[in-house]
Chains A and B, each alone.
Chain A
Amino acid sequence: MADEMRLLLEHADKIDPRIAEDYIKVGGYKGLEKARQMDRKDLIQEVKSSGLRGRGGAGFNAGMKWSFVPPAPVKYVVCNLDEGEPGTYKDRIICEKNAQALLEGMAICGTAIESKQGYIYCRGEYPFVVELLNKAIQSAKAVGALGDFDIEVRMGAGAYVCGEETALIESIEGHRGEPRFKPPFPGVAGLWGVPTVVNNVETFAALPYILSNGAEWYASIGAPKYPGTKVLTLTGDANNTTYFEVPTNYMLRDVIYKLGGGIKNGKKFKAVQVGGTSGAFIPEQNLDTPIDFDSMGTIGAALGSGAVLVLDETRDIVDIVTRISKFFEHESCGKCNPCREGTFRCREIMEKINAGRATEADINNILLLARVMKKAALCGLGQAAPIPITSTIEHFGHEYRRKLLQYA
Chain B
Amino acid sequence: MANYKDIINGLKDKQGGIIEAFHALQREYNYIPEEAIAEAAQVFGVSQAQAYGVATFYSYLSVEKRGKYIIRMCESAPCHVAGADEVIKAIEKHLGIKVGETTADGKFTLELTECVGQCQATPVITVNSEPVFNVSAAKVPEILSAYK
Within 8 Å by CB of B20, from A84, A87, A154, A309, lies A154
Q: Are B119 and A155 touching (Cβ within 8 A)? A: no
On whether the beta carbons of B19 and A157 are closer than 8 Å, the reply is yes
B76→A277 contact, CB < 8 A: yes
Contact across chains for B120 and A242 when beta carbons are under 8 A apart: yes
Q: Which residues of B contact A273 (CB under 8 A)?
A: 77
Number of chain B residues whose Cβ lies closer than 8 Å to a Cβ of chain A: 35
* Complexed CA–CA distance, A160 and B78 (Å): 16
- Selected from A85, A160, A192, A233, the residue in CB contact (under 8 A) with B120 is A233
Are B58 and A88 neighbours in the complex by a CB distance under 8 Å? no
A112-143 Cβ-contact flags toward B at 8 Å (1 or 0) = 00000000000111110000000000000000
Closest A residue, CB atoms, query B26: A157
Q: Mark B134-146, 1 if CB is under 8 A from A, else 0.
A: 0000000000000
B14 to chain A, nearest CB (A): 9
Query: What is the minimal beta-carbon distance from A343 to any residue of chain B, in angstroms?
Result: 14
Are B77 and A171 in contact, CB atoms less than 8 angstroms apart?
no
Contact partners of B77 in chain A: CB under 8 A: 86-87, 273, 277, 309, 320, 323-324, 327
Pick from A86, A156, A157, A311: contact of B115, CB under 8 Å: A86
- Point out the residues of chain B lying under 8 angstroms from A175, CB to CB: 16, 50, 54
Inter-chain CA distance A87–B59, complex, in Å, is 19
The secondary structure that dominates the A interface is: loop
Contact B16 A89 (CB under 8 A): no
Nearest chain-A residue to B76 (Cβ)? A86
Task: Please provide the chain A residues from 230 to 245 with a CB less than 8 Å away from any CB of chain B in the complex.
Answer: 233, 235-237, 241-243
Partner of A331, one of B15, B80, B114, B129: B114
Is A11 in the interface zone, CB < 8 Å from B? no
Number of interface residues of A (CB under 8 A): 48
From the candidates A87, A159, A171, A333, name the one contacting B78 in the complex (CB within 8 A): A87
A235 touches B117 (CB 8 A): no
Check if A176 is an interface residue, CB within 8 A of chain B. yes
Query: Is the CB–CB distance between A155 and B80 below 8 Å?
Result: no
Cα distance A309–B115 in the bound complex, in angstroms: 13
Query: What does the 1/0 interface line of B116-136 toward A look like (CB < 8 Å)?
Result: 111110100010010000000
Q: Compute how far the CA of A125 lies from the CA of B32 in the bound complex, rounded to whole angstroms.
A: 17
A172 within 8 A of B: yes
Within 8 A of A (CB), among B36-78: 44, 46, 50, 53-54, 57-61, 75-78
Q: In the assembled complex, which residues on chain A have CB atoms less than 8 Å from the CB atom of B19?
A: 154-157, 171, 174
> B8 interface residue, CB < 8 Å from A?
no
A341 within 8 A of B: no
Instruction: Considering the complex, give the chain A residue whose CB is closest to the CB of B117.
Output: A89
Residues from chain B with a CB closer than 8 A to the CB of A157 are 19, 22-23, 58-61
**Complex partner residue of A124 from B46, B50, B60, B76, CB under 8 angstroms:** B60
Question: Given A157-B58, A176-B57, 7 more contacts at CB 8 Å?
Answer: A86-B76, A154-B19, A157-B60, A173-B16, A174-B19, A177-B58, A315-B81
**What are the 6 A-B residue pairs with the smallest beta carbon separation, nearest first?**
A158-B60, A157-B58, A174-B16, A86-B76, A86-B115, A235-B78
Binding site for A on B (CB under 8 A): 15-20, 22-23, 44, 46, 50, 53-54, 57-61, 75-78, 80-81, 113-120, 122, 126, 129
